[in-house]
């Protein structure tokens, strides 16, 4: 293991700067207790970059990210930029950095911790014990296809192309099989093969790749059925793999199984160990600057960063255990609190986790 790592920090918009600042405090505790040095290079992305640089993804930001060992991102977006043209929307920065860094796989674990069962809007018996992983293809599909707006016979028309090639599908399917092999050896490939030609190609490639993984059980499910089953019986799933747009929707749905989208971390990976890590919850502009944002998804994203990009498995375990221990003690931010009058803010929750993390790291 190296003794020094460079981490690109992209706070972004809304609550992004608050939760990223909190995450740096977690990383600082890890550094102090392990002797590993983290250096940080900051860059702009999203709406703040549009305001300052005229683009959602400045070349300097992409350079900073490419020179780092890993990237930690807060969130992008907000109503201020909702009326901008597509290439000047904050989300274009996210799509651009994923493409620019070759990050083709987005991992979104959804785990129901026992102490949060009551925070879910679903019945406890439905969500208790949920532990699944959504693997979303990240650089293909309709989000990256050609987009057109034109007038035909006096009527305005919009087109979005959904394109996948065999190689793009195969690499995400193989990664998903490898992930499933390390978990419960069950993989559900989600598509819309009854309607879409791209999904029929997807299913065909998945069937071919499955022959190389006889120890993993693979099933197929249509995306509408999967959306229903995630709510009806989520514990039937171990690993779900799907294309870009379906994965965007299903992973957000899976997040709510855990009690709050504020609890869901993500890792965007390519070939090798490099990755970009971010919470799934978005920029939450309605609470930005109020000090009430839930930083736990960002802390869990830090754990993924430590594990996947830096090979610091023990430190990653310690961060996760610190989060669970704090929740077990009953500490809650407003989004996961049954009694919101007892909720703590971002700063206090961070202090609780950093304190618990010290205990976890000194015990190892």
HSE-up (13 A, CA, CB side) for residue 90: 25
The region that residue 16 occupies, defined by phi over 0 for left and psi between -120 and 50 for alpha, beta otherwise, is alpha
Residue 162, number of CB atoms within 10 A of its CB: 18
DSSP assignment of 41-67 = EE---THHHHHHHSSSS-HHHHHHHHT
CA–CA distance, 33 with 179 (Å, rounded to integer): 30
Per the CB < 8 A criterion, the answer to whether 10 and 43 are in contact is: yes
According to DSSP, the β-strands at 186-191 and 239-242 are: parallel
Residues with active-site annotation: 143, 192, 224, 248, 252
What one-character DSSP code corresponds to residue 95? H
- Surface-to-core class of residue 82, CB atoms within 10 Å of its CB (0-12 exposed, 13-18 middle, 19+ buried): exposed
CA–CA distance, 170 with 174 (Å, rounded to integer): 6
Which of 323, 264, 258, 278 has its CA nearest to residue 16? 278
Residues forming beta bridges with residue 317, ordered by sequence position: none
CA–CA distance, 225 with 240 (Å, rounded to integer): 13
Take residue 282 and report the two structure tokens written for it: 């978005």
């Amino acid at each position: 293991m190296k003794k020094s790592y460079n981490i690109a920090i992209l706070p972004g918009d809304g609550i992004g700067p608050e939760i990223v600042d909190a995450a740096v405090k977690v990383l600082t505790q890890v550094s102090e207790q392990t002797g590993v040095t983290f250096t940080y290079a900051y860059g702009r992305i999203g709406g703040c970059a549009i305001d300052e640089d005229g683009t959602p993804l400045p070349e300097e930001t992409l350079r900073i990210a490419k020179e780092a060992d890993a990237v930690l991102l807060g969130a992008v977006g907000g109503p201020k930029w909702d009326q901008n043209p597509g290439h000047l929307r904050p989300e274009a920065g996210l799509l651009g950095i994923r493409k620019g860094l070759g990050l083709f796989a987005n991992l979104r674990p959804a785990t129901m911790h026992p102490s949060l069962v009551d925070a879910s809007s679903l019945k406890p018996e439905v969500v208790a014990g949920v532990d699944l992983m959504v693997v979303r293809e990240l650089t293909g599909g309709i989000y990256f296809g050609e987009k057109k707006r034109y007038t035909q016979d006096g009527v305005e028309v919009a087109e979005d192309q959904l394109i996948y090639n065999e190689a793009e599908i195969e690499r995400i399917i193989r990664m998903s099989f490898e992930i499933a092999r390390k978990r419960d050896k069950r993989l559900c490939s989600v598509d819309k093969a009854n309607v879409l030609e791209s999904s029929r190609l997807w299913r065909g490639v998945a069937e071919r790749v499955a022959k190389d993984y006889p120890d993993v059980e693979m099933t197929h499910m249509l995306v509408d059925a999967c959306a229903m089953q995630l709510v009806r019986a989520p514990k039937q799933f171990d690993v779900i793999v799907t294309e870009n747009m379906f994965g965007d929707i299903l992973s957000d749905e899976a997040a709510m199984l855990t009690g709050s989208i504020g609890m869901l971390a993500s890792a965007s990976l390519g070939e090798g160990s490099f990755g970009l890590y971010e919470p799934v919850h978005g920029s939450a502009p309605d609470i930005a600057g109020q000090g009430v944002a839930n930083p736990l998804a960002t802390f869990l994203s830090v754990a993924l960063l430590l594990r996947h990009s830096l090979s610091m498995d023990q430190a990653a375990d310690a961060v996760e255990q610190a989060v669970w221990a704090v929740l077990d003690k009953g500490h809650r931010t407003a989004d996961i609190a049954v009694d919101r009058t007892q909720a703590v803010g971002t700063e206090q929750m961070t202090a609780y986790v950093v304190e618990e993390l010290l205990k976890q790291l000194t015990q190892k």
